[in-house]
Amino acid sequence: MNCPFCDEEIKDRALVCKHCGRDLTVLRPVLDRLMTIEGRLAAMETALQTLSEHVDDVRSKAPAATAPAHHWKSVLAVVVPAILLTAALLAAHWLIIGILDLNTWILRLVSILLPLPFGFLGSRRLPTTIGVALVVAIVSVWGMLAITGTIDHVPILPQGAHDWIETGEYMISIALAYGTGHLLKGLWRSRMSAEDREASLVFEIATALAKSSAPKNETKVHAKQRAENIATWLNYLALMVTAACSIATGIGKFFPGITKLWQ
């Protein structure tokens, strides 16, 4: 311990400081009490440190134990809507063509409108969205061909290059309609949350464009604002292009005006 008067080191049980000669008899009970409290505080700090390390260890192990459950929930959140959308498209085809015998362009229009809400409510990840859109488009169109072939007793596979092109365009229109819903969701979330906006791929592209065209001595605030403006225009542009392509490939051939614009 150190002497309370001269701050020199002395023995813990000393009654007189050997450096300054001060009498420590009166202060001894107080010093002993302080040393006891200091020992208890040190023990409490050690216990708290041990408890904190134990809690961190438990937290680090908890996600690994629950990861499979979260993984399956994420998979089901993607698979179930995809199955429902495919079933809805097949049911629409069977009702419009097989039961009501309506014009084909009505089915094409419904096939564009149905994927929109599913794309809006689907996954936030772009690769997952693209995969779901392609799978749904392929499975649903081949299912429609099977239904038509069964009802009309015609070959299920397209006959000739024209039929194959038309089938491919129909698949593309459904996939693009799903993608349009995804873009609508991204545009909506970007307006609702700055964190979602800055985490999007569009914002990263906009930031790169803003940096490449930045004037000299541009502040970070102005650069961020310019990137946000570019991202907004990119979102609108992607949305319009995707929607236009979906309409053109889906029902363009039924309306000469749209077909001429597409060409």
Contact 181, 118 (CB under 8 A): yes
Distance CA 66, CA 55 (A): 17
pLDDT in tens, the chain (263 residues): 778 778 788 777 777 888 888 776 776 777 777 778 888 888 888 888 888 888 777 666 655 444 465 677 778 888 999 999 999 999 999 999 889 888 888 999 999 999 999 998 888 788 889 999 999 999 999 999 999 888 888 888 898 898 999 999 999 999 999 999 988 887 787 665 665 555 566 777 777 887 887 777 777 778 888 888 888 888 888 889 998 888 888 887 776 554 444 44
Q: Global pTM? A: 0.65
Overall residue count recorded for the chain in this entry: 263
Residue showing tokens 């990263």: 204
